[in-house]
Structure formats: C-alpha cells, structure tokens
C-alpha cells in the first residue's frame, strides 16, 4: 500500500492540555478514538545511512485495547518539505511476518549500498487519538498525542511528547493550518519536523549524507569541479532510485537516465584531467546502466508521442489506434523487467559505490598538460571554430616531458590542485569547436544521422558550459541556455523520426483501416521533423552570436 503522508509535527510539554478540535470551521466535528500502544523497531545501517537521507524503515506492532496485536512494516521516503509541514511517501506491508519485505529492502538499496540492515532503535508510543470529520462524516484530520519512550532493552532511556496533525482525507489540507494554530495557542510549539527515530538517535541521525552536492565558486579547483560533477550524478541516481523501482511516475526514469548521460558527458569533457584507469572502469558501467534505463525511457517518450498523435484524430480513428498503445505497454513491461533485474544486481550497487567513493575522493590525473600548439591556437584571434583540436590531441602522453616551447601550458602541481578557471574555458571551447566543425561539414540537406550527431554535440556543449558556469559565471550559463535550446529542438525532431519509424513498422502488420489511421499519425510526425529542420539553423545562429559576444572566456585561464 502506498500513500503520501502529509503532516505537521509539534512538541508539547508534559503538562500541556490539548484543546478541543470541534468547530475548526463551520460544520466539522471532532471525536476520540481508542488509545493505542505502539512498539516500533527501526532498521538502518550501522552509520545510519537511511536516517541521514530522511528515510525511515520500521516494523511496528500496535494494540488498541484488548484487541489482538497487529504488525505492519512501513517505509517512509522523503518527497518534499516546507514551512507548514512535510510530505513523505509512505509504503506499508501488513501481516505478521517478521522477515523484512523484499520490496522494502529493494527500495533502500541505493541508500544503504547493500550494507547490512540491523535494529538501531526501539520506541514504545502511548497514543491518544482525535479525528476531525466533515459535515457528511468523512475523515479529514487525525491528531495524535504521543508519549514516546526510547527503549534500551527493558529500560526506558528517554521520553518525549510529540503531537502530529495529519491529513487523512480529501479536504483535510484546508484544516491543517487552523488546527496547528489552535494547538499553538494552547501551548504546543513547532517541532523540527524530524521523525521520532531521528529525535531518539540524536545528532548522528541528523548529519547530512556522506555524499552531498559540492558548492563551487570562482576559485574552485579541478578536484572540486570533478567531485561536484560526480556528486551531482550520484545524488540524482540515488534520489530517483525508489521512484524508478515503484514506477509511478516516468520522470524518475528520465532523471536517472539523465544522470548517467550527464556523468558520461562530463567525464568525456574532462578526461585529460581524470585518472585513466578509473575512467576505463566507470564509463562502460555508466553506459550499461544508461542503456537499460534508456530502453524504458524511449518507450515512455514514444508512448507520449503516440497519445498526442491520437489526440489529433477523430473519435472513430482514435479507437482504431488504441491497440498501438497496448503494444507499447506490452513492450514496456518486458523492458521494465530487464531494468528491475539490473537494479537488483550487485553490478548496480557496485557502480553506485564506485561513484560515491569517487565523489569523496575525485580520481584526478597525476598532472595535466596542454600542448603548445593548442595553447597558441587558443590565444590567437582566429574565429573560434578554427582554434582548437579534439581533446584527445590536447593531452600529451603521460610519459612525455613538459612541453618546452614558448606558450606551452602546463602545471607542475597535481592536476587536482589546478585552478578550475585555468581549464573550464578550454573544456567548453573544445566542445564548441567539435560541434562547430560538425555543423560546418553539413550540406544543404543534412541527413537524419548528421542532425542526430549535431544534437549530441549540442548536449555536450551544454553540459560543458554547465560544468564551467560556477567558475566562469554568467557567460558560460548564457551559452549553456543556447546549447540547450538547440539540443531540445533537435531532440524533438529525433523523437518524431523514431515515432515515424515505429509507426511504419506497426502499419506493415496492421489491418487496412488501422494502417490508414497510422498513415495520418505518420504525417503528424513528419510535420514535427520538418519544423525541427527549418528552425535549428536559427538556434545555431543564436549560439554563434552568443559565442561572438562572450568569446573571451572560451580559452585557458592563463
């Protein structure tokens, strides 16, 4: 069972009397429910990785009067937080089984990295309950007055009192703030919003996760730039992992795939600065994960395009086209099973562990050199498209001596200590030149494959500029925006091409009347492709204009 928990946590002193909740607004009434005694056993890693991520995993036994005790496994995952309360996704597995549900264990794998889960806390809660109902008797709010005992064996180690106001029915959101206001007038105060377990465990559970986004600035080093890129990709994968597994919103698959692509692109752009042996291990693994995520994501994108195309048909033709979506749904189930198998494998958690370790200790190369030839070309006043050579040529062999020619650009300090400002312009310039040369080779009617490569180049330029932006500032951000616009337009054209090809294949085995409808949908996709072909030169010109205006930063820093 899954639901979104929306509640406000408050603190109450031992002598505070809670006010009546009757008449919060006209027509609502309050009534008491039987008291409960709850015994919750919490599970986490030794270093509390779940708690530090805002994740709670417990097995709770509850008693209401003389009734038989009931057991419930519950997993709470963070969704968002705000000043007026918090939302968490709550999943539960009822039953008497003591073994942890397989799905619960799976949903915390990215946080625990397969570290053993053990008991980290036992809380006994004596709960008094009040519910608020609407005029027709429907439940709106539940107010729980909890006296919580932190247990150490059979001994009570600590106690605290907590009041929770939780939305339990449609329309309860409107009563949440009036109820909180009434409680505060009575002497109840706002709590930190932390789960009971976190309050019981103390400061250790309040520490931030080991891998956290790195704040960059103009003086950041190469080590910090690389660490920030790795941490961003790792965090994106971990945060969206439960959503990918639950498969309730396709955006989670999209963001996880973006993480793999972004990581590979960033590492590709910075590869002369990255330890080669680490890169040889990491890049294929990211490619593997991106591929299995991409199989599902591509079907999601195609399904959306088919739905949009069906929306342009009349009702009769829409009905004829519906089997197309059923076929895609069947294919998606196959790809989902492949993705689930991949994410349940040790290969996946080993990749996450590799990224986590590299985020904390970035795998920078021993040193970095930029050849005299490239440095000279970067410094002269030729148009940017002619000034750089591919990155693979820009890095001298590791065994080569430092270039002695005048104008050579080399550091005698470890690559990780090089100021980021010395290299981000070169990284972005390399991406720009590769893209510019590719566009320059296009004919008047570029092929679909050529435009696909231009899109990939625009994406890499965008990512390179976004890597540079914290160091280089607004100039890099402005070029990233232009590159993103070009990438998105050509991406939409590529999606339309893929949809057309899929529809043509479907038409070959379709009944005649459905094939005619598919023909209409193919026409829509071809119109989208024509639009992308007509508009992309305009966006390319805007990118060139931005480079001409801000070209000063697209070069090494000294």
Question: What are the DSSP calls for 121-182, one per residue?
Answer: EEEEEEEEEEEEE-TTS-EEEEEEEEEEEEEETTEEEEEEEEEEEEE-STTTHHHHHHHHHH
Asked whether residue 150 falls in the same domain as residue 58, the answer is yes
Please count the other Cβ atoms lying within 10 Å of the Cβ belonging to residue 472: 24
- Give me the pLDDT at residue 294, please: 97
For residues 259 and 313, membership in a common domain is answered with: yes
- Predicted local distance difference test score (pLDDT) of residue 558: 47
Distance of CA 430 to the CA centre of its chain: 28
pLDDT in the model for residue 4: 64
Q: Which of 51-60, 113-122, 186-195, 504-513 has the lowest mean pLDDT?
A: 186-195
Q: Is the per-residue pLDDT at 544 higher than 50? A: yes
Does residue 14 lie within any of the structural domains? yes
- Nearest alpha-carbon partner for 388 in 425, 439, 441, 442: 425
Q: Where are the alpha helices (DSSP H) in 361-447?
A: 372-379, 391-394, 424-440
pLDDT, tens digit (0-9, with 9 covering 90-100), for 232-281: 999 999 999 999 999 999 999 999 999 999 999 999 888 888 998 999 99
* Interval 78-106: pLDDT, tens: 875 433 345 678 899 987 667 899 999 99
Percentage of the chain lying above the pLDDT 70 cut: 87
Q: Is residue 212 part of a domain?
A: no
Residue with tokens 């409107």: 174
Domain count, the chain: 3
Q: Does residue 262 sit in the same domain as residue 334?
A: yes
Q: Is residue 416 part of a domain?
A: no
CA atoms of 397 and 272, how far apart (whole Å): 10
Within a domain: residue 217? no
379 and 298 in a common domain: no
Per the structure, the complete domain to which residue 142 belongs is given by 2-206
The CATH number that applies at residue 492 is 1.40.20.10
pLDDT of residue 398: 31
For residue 353, give both structure tokens: 């562990």
Q: Are 61 and 38 in contact (CB under 8 A)?
A: yes
Q: What is the mean pLDDT of residues 334-347?
A: 97
302, with CB counted inside 10 A (0-12, 13-18, 19+), is buried
Query: Are 351 and 374 contained in the same domain?
Result: no
**First-to-last C-alpha distance (Å) of the chain:** 59
> Nearest Cα to 134, choosing from 24, 6, 7, 29?
29
Q: Please state the rounded mean pLDDT for residues 467-490.
A: 95
Q: Which of 49, 142, 59 is nearest to 94 (CA)?
A: 59
pLDDT bucket at 550, cuts 50 / 70 / 90? confident
Q: Could you tell me if residue 95 is inside a domain?
A: yes
Considering the domain architecture, whether residues 428 and 329 belong to the same structural domain is answered as no
Single residue among 206, 236, 254 that ends a domain in this structure: 206
pLDDT digit string (tens) for 159-172?
Answer: 999 999 999 999 88
Same domain? 351 vs 298: yes
Tokens for 343, please give them.
């994410």
Report d(CA 21, CA 18) in Å as an integer: 9
User: Is it the case that residue 554 has pLDDT exceeding 80?
Assistant: yes
Q: What is the CATH number of the domain that holds 75?
A: 2.40.320.10
Rounded distance between C-alpha atoms, residue 300 and residue 265, angstroms? 23
Contacts 24+ apart (CB under 8 A), 392-400: 394/272, 394/370, 394/426, 394/430, 395/271, 395/272, 395/368, 395/369, 395/370, 396/369, 396/371, 398/276, 398/365, 398/366, 400/369
Residue 415 falls inside a structural domain: no
- pLDDT at residue 369 tops 70: no
Residues 353 and 374 in one domain: no
Neighbours of 487 (CB within 10 A): 21
Closest CA to 158 of 166, 173, 148, 168: 148
Output the average pLDDT for the chain: 87
Q: How confident is the model at residue 551 (pLDDT cuts 50, 70, 90)?
A: confident
Cα–Cα nearest to 192, from 173, 205, 179, 178: 205
**In this structure, are 511 and 540 located in the same domain?**
yes
Q: Is residue 268 classed as helix, strand or coil in its secondary structure? A: helix
Q: Please indicate, yes or no, whether residues 133 and 50 belong to a single structural domain of this protein.
A: yes
Strand 369-370 versus strand 155-167 pairing type: unpaired
- Of 341, 360, 379, the last residue of a domain is 360
CA distances from 408 to 61, 271, 547 (A): 70, 19, 25
Is 378 in the same domain as 355?
A: no
Greatest Cα pair distance in the chain: 89
Q: Tell me if residue 88 falls in helix, strand or coil.
A: strand
- With respect to residue 418, please indicate whether it lies within any of the assigned structural domains: no
Domain endpoint, select from 206, 230, 256: 206
Check whether residue 128 and residue 32 sit in a common domain: yes
Instruction: List Cβ neighbours of 371 (8 Å cut-off, separation of 6 or more).
Output: 393, 394, 396, 403, 408
Q: What is the pLDDT of residue 430?
A: 87
Asked whether residue 211 is domain-assigned, the answer is no
């Amino acid at each position: 069972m899954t639901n979104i928990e929306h509640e406000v946590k408050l603190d109450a002193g031992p002598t505070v009397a809670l006010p009546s909740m009757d008449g919060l607004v006209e027509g609502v009434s309050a009534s008491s429910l039987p008291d409960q005694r709850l015994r919750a056993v919490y599970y986490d890693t030794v270093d509390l990785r779940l708690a530090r991520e805002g994740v709670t995993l417990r097995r709770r036994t509850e008693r209401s009067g003389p009734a038989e005790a009931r057991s419930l496994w519950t997993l709470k995952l963070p969704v968002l937080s705000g000043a007026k309360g918090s939302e968490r996704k709550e999943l539960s597995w009822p039953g008497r089984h003591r073994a942890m549900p397989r799905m619960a264990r799976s949903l915390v794998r990215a946080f625990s990295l397969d570290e053993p889960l053990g008991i980290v806390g036992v809380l006994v809660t004596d709960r008094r309950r009040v519910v608020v109902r609407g005029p027709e008797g429907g439940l709106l709010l539940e107010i729980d007055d909890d006296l919580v005992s932190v247990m150490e064996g059979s001994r009570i180690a600590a106690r605290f009192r907590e009041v929770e106001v939780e939305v339990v029915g449609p329309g309860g959101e409107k009563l949440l703030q009036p109820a909180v206001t009434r409680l505060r007038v009575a002497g109840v105060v706002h709590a930190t919003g932390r789960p009971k377990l976190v309050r019981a465990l103390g400061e250790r559970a309040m520490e931030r996760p080991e891998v956290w986004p790195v704040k960059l600035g103009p003086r950041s080093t190469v080590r910090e730039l690389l660490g920030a890129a790795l941490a961003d990709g790792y965090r994106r994968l971990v945060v969206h992992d439960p959503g990918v597994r639950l498969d309730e919103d396709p955006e989670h698959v999209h963001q996880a795939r973006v993480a793999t692509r972004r990581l590979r692109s960033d590492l590709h752009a910075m590869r002369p600065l990255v330890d080669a042996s680490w890169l040889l291990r990491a890049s294929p693994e990211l490619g593997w994960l991106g591929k299995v995520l991409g199989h599902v994501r591509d079907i999601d994108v195609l399904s959306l395009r088919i739905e949009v195309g069906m929306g342009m048909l009349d009702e009769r033709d829409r009905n004829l086209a519906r089997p197309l979506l059923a076929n895609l749904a069947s294919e998606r189930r196959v790809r989902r099973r492949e993705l689930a198998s991949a994410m349940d494998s040790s290969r996946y958690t080993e990749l996450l562990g590799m990224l986590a370790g590299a985020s904390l200790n970035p795998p920078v190369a021993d040193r970095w050199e930029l050849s005299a030839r490239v440095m000279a070309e970067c410094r002269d006043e030729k148009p940017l498209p002619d000034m750089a050579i591919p990155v693979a040529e820009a890095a001298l062999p590791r065994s080569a001596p430092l270039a002695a020619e005048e104008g050579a650009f080399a550091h005698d300090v470890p690559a990780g200590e090089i100021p980021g400002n010395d290299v981000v312009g070169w990284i972005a310039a390399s991406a720009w030149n590769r893209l510019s040369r590719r566009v320059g080779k296009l004919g008047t009617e570029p092929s679909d494959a050529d435009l696909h490569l231009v899109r990939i180049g625009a994406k890499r330029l965008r990512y390179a500029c976004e890597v540079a932006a914290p160091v280089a500032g607004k100039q890099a951000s402005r070029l990233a925006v232009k590159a993103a616009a070009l990438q998105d337009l050509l991406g939409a054209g590529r999606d339309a091409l893929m949809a057309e090809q899929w529809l043509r294949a479907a038409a070959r085995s379709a009944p005649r009347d459905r094939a005619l409808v598919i023909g209409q949908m193919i026409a829509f996709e071809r119109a989208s492709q024509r639009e992308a072909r007509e508009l992309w030169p305009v966006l390319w010109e805007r990118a060139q204009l931005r480079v001409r205006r801000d070209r000063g930063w697209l070069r090494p820093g000294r």
